[in-house]
Amino acid sequence: MILIDEQFLPQAIATISSAKRRIDISTFKAEDTSLPRGRNLHVLFELLFKKKSEGIEINFLINWNHEKRAVPLTNLSVIHELKKHKINVRMLPERRCCHAKIIIVDQKTAIIGSHNLGVKSCHYNFEMSYLIMDPIQVAMLSNVYDQTLLNSLIP
């Protein structure tokens, strides 16, 4: 299923809501705000925190480097919030840019595409993502994610 523009966030929330064991996320930019324009993003982050409190494993790859070069500054506050909720937050080594936008739930359902977890991406930009439910494709994507996670660092 193709998710265009504002179709992404409701589907991402629904997909994450279905999680029973594990949620894997990768994004270039993350933004958690309770301002009206970001209310639905805040809902997504609150859902992640709730799922973590229910014992679901959550891995979150985000673009970051300690020199803060070419990284969205909103990522820092999101990193702090995720860590506060004991979510496994990681960054790529050697200042590699984490540009992949991925959500994988229970290694059964995935969303990949251009949507960052930011206000502009979810409400104003022309963005497109794809919901994948094919078990072979999701398994292949999960393997790539797991390998990347193994080689990642704690920000």
Model pLDDT for residues 58-104, shown as the tens digit of each residue: 999 999 987 777 888 899 999 999 999 999 999 999 889 999 999 99
Q: What is the domain count for the chain? A: 1
Q: Is residue 39 over pLDDT 90?
A: no
* Other beta carbons within 10 Å of 149: 16
Cβ atoms 112, 132 nearer than 8 A:
yes
Domain that holds residue 94: 2-150
At which residue do the structure tokens 């739930």 appear? 105
At which residue do the structure tokens 């963005």 appear? 127
Q: What pLDDT, on the 0 to 100 scale, is given for residue 46?
A: 96
Q: What pLDDT, on the 0 to 100 scale, is given for residue 79?
A: 96
**Rg over CA atoms, the chain:** 14
Residue 73 vs residues 10, 100, 120, 128, 149: alpha-carbon distances, Å = 25, 18, 14, 24, 22
**Domain containing residue 62: CATH number:** 3.30.870.10
Report the sign of the C-alpha dihedral through residues 45, 112, 24, 18, in that order.
positive
Q: Which residue has the higher pLDDT, 124 or 29?
A: 29
3-32 confidence digits (pLDDT tens): 998 899 999 999 999 999 999 999 999 998
**Inside any domain, residue 155:** no
